């Protein structure tokens, strides 16, 4: 049975099957990019909308004649909400990572790992629903405005970004050689001095990666954000203003516009923009990874 | 301020941050379960939903969520396992491997709504299927393929080299080693990953609202012929899932009891996700114990 030939065939079979699966990942990725791009470029190639106008104009009147397709309102909306999310989430998430790795490695890990997994596990619509039924009325009654606001979106995103930032930052901190920590402590530095002067600088590339991944999560989140930001065509002037984001306009209008019409094609251009942004983030993360401060 | 005082203050702040994170999670889960607990009844989780009047349930939505999860996993698990094994065992450093890795990273970082739109183009329009359960399941496969690939690659990589070498030295081929030695040992890691991913698939909405649709017309739970359009087992019918339902009742429906339906649905989602998490931990621990001879 176990002749050399049978063995070779068996080996070739395994290699071939797994290779096919891996190639499929490439095929899926490429076809996704090609499909989204071919739809997303339609308004530029067929309808003659200028890409500059698309990125810099705030006038989104796709039903008008001539149509105006400026997505800047949504780009600003997405950025403002996501950056607010990062500003709130990053300090808490990074502190949690430090706690888990350096302050209480014994039980901090045991406590926070399941906590992180549960935060990941809560579906985004549930975050949106809690935001809508608890956070929005709370802001309306205690802070002001309608409640549907940048602030509500930022807070919901901050919670959703927490597991991403915390776990990636924790990985970065864990990768620092123990000798660095010990050398610093042996020189008489306190734990806080060691964290601030040695561990955080050494983990900076990893922490940056964590923040970028958090930002990507925020920019790409659709439903939870859409449910709490009010979805008003508006450049926000305060945290209590309602906004519209790239994902929220797609979510709301994709079902209300007919395929292959300009109002619909314009939504695909926003999808293409989202895809491009997440690809740029990947490239940035790779560049950071190549320049690890400590290896 | 002396270094020691600074250290004490910093440590206190870390503990406060962790307390906030843990309390926030407890409040979130407690609130969802408390609000939902008042709505959930046997009738609520088994009866069909209503569009205009109060008193509808979420039976078909729960069923659809599980159906989509299972169908999607039928595709995702073998494909992810294959590509994970390829990357861990066969891939040699080079351009092709780099390309596969870049694709996995790109696909993993895509906003789920973009994956959903790709599904809309391919599984709804190009195939001419319209909104189907199968289309939703395939979109979820695209969404989770990179996650599953990573989970499997990591699990395979953690298997000790001695085991592989011993098997190869005994004359087994690499593929025999993988199927007979590596996979059994990597199984706890793979299973844990599958279950945790399942929890996320179960709650995903953005990727399937435009592929599996937002309606669940007239499913009759007494028709088990899977070619019948009214059969719950028919995978070519529109299938609104629980997560999509929460979004829909909040944004588009005219239900007078939308709040209650959303509260109840959120609680059911969270309970399922919690069960998946507990199951993953229990199974992971048990299998690990059995395979290492500690049970």
Q: Is the pLDDT of residue A73 over 90?
A: yes
Give the separation between CA B4 and CA A188, rounded to whole angstroms: 11
Confidence of residue B135 (pLDDT cuts 50, 70, 90): very high
Q: Residue A38, CB half-sphere, CA atoms under 13 Å: how many?
A: 8
Q: How far is B107 from chain A (nearest CA, A)?
A: 6
ipTM of the complex: 0.91
Confidence of residue A152 (pLDDT cuts 50, 70, 90): very high
| 3-state DSSP percent of chain B in helix, strand and coil, to 5 | 70, 0, 30
Burial class (CB in 10 A: 0-12, 13-18, 19+), B254: exposed
With respect to residue B22, please indicate whether it lies within any of the assigned structural domains. Answer: no
- What integer pLDDT is reported at residue A2 of this predicted model? 58
For the domain that residue B197 is a member of, what is the CATH number?
Answer: 1.10.3720.10
Q: Is the pLDDT of residue B269 over 50?
A: yes
Q: Residue B289, CB half-sphere, CA atoms under 13 Å: how many?
A: 8
CA-nearest residue to B2 within chain A is A190
The verdict on a CB contact (< 8 Å) between A192 and B31 is: no
- What integer pLDDT is reported at residue A109 of this predicted model? 87
> Mean pLDDT for chain A?
91
Burial class (CB in 10 A: 0-12, 13-18, 19+), A290: exposed
- What integer pLDDT is reported at residue B249 of this predicted model? 87
Provide the number of structural domains found in chain B. 1
The 10s digit of each residue's pLDDT in A15-26 is: 999 999 999 999
DSSP state of A244: -
Calculate Rg over the CA atoms of chain B: 23
Q: How far is B174 from chain A (nearest CA, A)?
A: 6
DSSP state of A234: -
DSSP state of A230: B
Q: How many residues does chain A have?
A: 295
Least confident of A261-275, B20-34, B47-61: B47-61
Confidence of residue A210 (pLDDT cuts 50, 70, 90): very high
Burial class (CB in 10 A: 0-12, 13-18, 19+), B11: middle
Q: How far is A31 from chain B (nearest CA, A)?
A: 9
Give the separation between CA B14 and CA B271, rounded to whole angstroms: 30
- What integer pLDDT is reported at residue B287 of this predicted model? 77
Three-state DSSP state, A60: strand
Q: Is the pLDDT of residue A185 over 60?
A: yes
The verdict on a CB contact (< 8 Å) between A190 and B105 is: no
Q: Which of B21, B100, B109 sits opposite A26 (nearest CB)?
A: B100
The verdict on a CB contact (< 8 Å) between B14 and A98 is: yes
The 10s digit of each residue's pLDDT in B76-121 is: 999 999 999 999 999 999 999 999 999 999 999 999 999 999 999 9
List chain A domain ranges.
75-255+271-290
Q: How far is B225 from chain A (nearest CA, A)?
A: 31
A238-277 exposure pattern, b = at least 16 Cβ within 10 A, e = fewer: ebbbbbbbbbbbbbbbbeebeeeebbbbbbbbbbbbbbeb
With respect to residue B16, please indicate whether it lies within any of the assigned structural domains. Answer: no
With respect to residue B29, please indicate whether it lies within any of the assigned structural domains. Answer: no
Of the candidates B67, B90, B66, which has an alpha carbon nearest to the alpha carbon of residue B152?
A: B90
Listed ranges A109-118, B68-77, B210-219; the one with the highest mean pLDDT: B68-77
Give the separation between CA A18 and CA B97, rounded to whole angstroms: 13
The verdict on a CB contact (< 8 Å) between B32 and A247 is: no
Cis before A277 (ω within 30): no
Q: Which of A29, A134, A259 sits opposite B103 (nearest CB)?
A: A29
The verdict on a CB contact (< 8 Å) between A274 and B246 is: no
- What integer pLDDT is reported at residue B295 of this predicted model? 46
Q: Which of A29, A103, A130 sits opposite B28 (nearest CB)?
A: A130
The verdict on a CB contact (< 8 Å) between B118 and A222 is: no
Q: Is the pLDDT of residue B284 over 80?
A: no
With respect to residue B4, please indicate whether it lies within any of the assigned structural domains. Answer: no
Of the options 3.40.50.2300, 3.50.50.60, 1.10.3720.10, 1.20.1600.10, the CATH number for the domain spanning A75-255+271-290? 1.10.3720.10
CA angle A33/A34/A37 to nearest 5° reads 80
Q: How far is A282 from chain B (nearest CA, A)?
A: 7
The verdict on a CB contact (< 8 Å) between A125 and B247 is: yes
Q: Which domain holds residue B105?
A: 38-291
Least confident of A12-21, B19-28, B119-128, B229-238: B229-238
Contacts with A98 from chain B: Cβ below 8 Å: 14
């Amino acid at each position: 049975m176990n002749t050399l030939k049978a063995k070779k065939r068996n080996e070739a079979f395994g290699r071939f099957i797994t290779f096919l699966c891996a190639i499929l990942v490439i095929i899926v990725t490429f076809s996704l990019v090609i499909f989204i791009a071919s739809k997303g470029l339609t308004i530029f190639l067929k309808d003659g909308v200028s890409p500059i106008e698309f990125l810099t104009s705030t006038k989104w009147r796709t039903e008008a004649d001539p149509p105006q397709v400026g997505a800047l309102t949504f780009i600003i909306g997405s950025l403002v909400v996501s950056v607010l999310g990062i500003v709130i989430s990053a300090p808490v998430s990074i502190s949690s990572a430090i706690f888990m790795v350096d302050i209480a490695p014994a039980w901090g890990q045991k406590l926070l790992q399941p906590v992180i997994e549960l935060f990941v596990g809560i579906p985004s619509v549930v975050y949106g629903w809690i935001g809508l039924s608890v956070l929005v009325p709370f802001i309306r009654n205690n802070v002001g405005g309608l409640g549907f606001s940048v602030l509500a979106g930022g807070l919901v995103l901050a919670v959703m970004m927490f597991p991403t930032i915390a776990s990636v930052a924790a990985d970065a901190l864990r990768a620092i050689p123990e000798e660095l920590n010990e050398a610093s402590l042996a020189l008489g530095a306190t734990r806080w001095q060691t964290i601030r002067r040695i561990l955080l600088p050494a983990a900076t590339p990893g922490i940056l990666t964590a923040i970028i991944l958090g930002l990507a999560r925020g920019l790409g989140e659709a439903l939870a954000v859409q449910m709490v930001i009010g979805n008003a065509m508006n450049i926000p002037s305060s945290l209590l203003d309602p906004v519209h984001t790239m994902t929220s306009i797609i979510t709301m209008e994709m079902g209300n516009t007919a395929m292959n019409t300009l109002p619909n094609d314009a939504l695909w251009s926003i999808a293409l923009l989202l895809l491009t942004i997440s690809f740029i983030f990947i490239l940035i993360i790779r560049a950071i990874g190549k320049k690890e401060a400590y290896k | 301020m002396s270094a020691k005082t600074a250290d004490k203050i910093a440590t206190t702040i870390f503990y406060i941050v962790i307390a906030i994170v843990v309390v926030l999670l407890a409040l979130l889960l407690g609130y969802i379960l408390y609000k939902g607990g008042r709505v959930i009844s046997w009738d609520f989780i088994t009866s069909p939903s209503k569009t205009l009047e109060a008193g509808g349930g979420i039976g078909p939505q729960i069923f659809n969520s599980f159906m989509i999860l299972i169908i999607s996993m039928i595709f995702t698990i073998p494909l992810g396992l294959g590509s994970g094994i390829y990357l861990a065992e066969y891939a040699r450093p080079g351009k092709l491997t780099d390309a596969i890795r870049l694709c996995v990273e790109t696909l993993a970082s895509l906003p789920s709504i973009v994956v959903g739109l790709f599904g809309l183009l391919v599984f709804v329009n190009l195939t001419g299927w319209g909104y189907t359960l199968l289309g939703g399941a395939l979109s979820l496969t695209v969404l989770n393929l990179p996650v599953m690939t990573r989970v499997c690659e990591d699990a395979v990589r953690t298997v000790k080299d001695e085991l592989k070498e011993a098997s190869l030295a005994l004359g087994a081929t690499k593929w025999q080693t993988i199927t007979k030695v590596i996979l059994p040992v990597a199984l706890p890691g793979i299973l844990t990953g599958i279950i945790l991913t399942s929890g996320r698939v179960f709650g995903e909405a953005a990727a399937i609202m435009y592929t599996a649709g937002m309606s669940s017309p007239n499913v009759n739970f007494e028709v088990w012929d899977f070619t019948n359009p009214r059969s719950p087992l028919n995978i070519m019918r529109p299938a609104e899932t629980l997560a999509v339902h929460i979004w829909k009742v909040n944004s588009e429906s005219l239900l007078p009891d939308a709040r209650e339906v959303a509260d109840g649905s959120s609680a059911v989602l969270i309970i399922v996700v919690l069960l998946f998490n507990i199951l993953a931990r229990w199974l992971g621990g048990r299998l690990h114990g059995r395979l290492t001879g500690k049970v």
